[in-house]
């Protein structure tokens, strides 16, 4: 597993729920069919409300219209990211769009577990409110080995992250089932 992740930030506010991450009308696609799975990335974050992230409402689209991948690899959010339904498709949609990790103040527990268990992306928790210190488009370097994120666009400002703890081996294995197989829990 690569312990250093680099990419552009996409900054959101508090209470981004799973219906905003992947709206219900796109759940008709089947994630087990590769030709359909890619559409989850295309529609990721397509229902995020006005906020920090340059549409006329002040928002930059996470995925440009007609594209399958985002220009942003790291989502930085406030409190309660991934709340709402227990939709497993939410972390899948972000991963299909090319997102490597989400850094939030805290998560809805089900989003956090779906991210880890499915091996979709790395859910990191910030120690401080990063949405006030990072801007959409800032180039970030996430150092998992040092539990920090460095904002390369703002003078290499360094911000602490909470350690991943017990979920790190599951993330390193690529999800819960690969972890269980490697640990001899499944055959």
What secondary structure does DSSP assign to 118-160, as a single string? HT--EEEEBSS-GGGT--TT-EEEEETTTTEEEETTTTTEEEE
State the pTM of this model: 0.91
Backbone angles phi, psi at 107, to 5 degrees: -115, 160
pLDDT digits (tens, 9 = 90+) for 11-22: 999 999 999 999
Q: Which residue has the higher pLDDT, 31 or 57?
A: 31
Q: How far apart are CA 50 and CA 60, in angstroms?
A: 9
% of the chain exceeding 70 in pLDDT: 93
Overall CATH class of domain 4-182: alpha beta
What's the confidence (pLDDT) of residue 50? 52
Ordered by start, the domain boundaries in the chain are: 4-182
- pLDDT tens figures, 117-142: 999 999 999 999 999 999 999 999 99
Q: How far apart are the first and last CA of the chain?
A: 23
Across 28-42, 52-66, 171-185, which has the greatest mean pLDDT?
28-42
Determine the average pLDDT of the residues in 45-52: 70
| pLDDT exceeds cutoff 50 at 115 | yes
Are the CB atoms for 167 and 117 separated by under 8 Å?
no
How far, CA to CA in Å, does 161 sit from each of 18, 42, 48, 84, 181?
23, 29, 25, 24, 29
Are 76 and 59 in contact by the 8 Å Cβ rule? The answer is: no
């Amino acid at each position: 597993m690569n312990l250093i992740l680099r990419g552009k930030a996409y900054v959101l506010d508090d209470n981004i729920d799973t219906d905003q991450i992947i709206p219900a009308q796109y759940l008709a696609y089947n994630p087990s069919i590769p030709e359909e799975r890619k559409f989850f990335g295309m529609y990721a974050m397509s229902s995020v409300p006005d906020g920090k992230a340059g549409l006329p409402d002040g928002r930059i689209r996470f995925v440009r219209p007609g594209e399958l991948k985002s220009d942003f690899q790291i989502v930085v959010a406030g409190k309660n990211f991934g709340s709402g339904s227990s939709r497993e498709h939410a972390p899948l949609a972000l991963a299909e769009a090319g997102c490597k990790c989400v850094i939030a103040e805290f998560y809805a527990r089900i989003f956090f577990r779906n991210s880890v268990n499915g091996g979709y992306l790395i859910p990191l928790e910030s120690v401080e409110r990063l949405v006030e210190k990072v801007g959409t488009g800032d180039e970030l370097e996430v150092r998992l080995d040092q539990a920090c994120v460095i904002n390369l666009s703002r003078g290499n400002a360094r911000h602490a992250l909470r350690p991943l703890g017990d979920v790190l081996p599951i993330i390193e294995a690529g999800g819960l089932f690969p972890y269980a197989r490697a640990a001899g829990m499944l055959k």
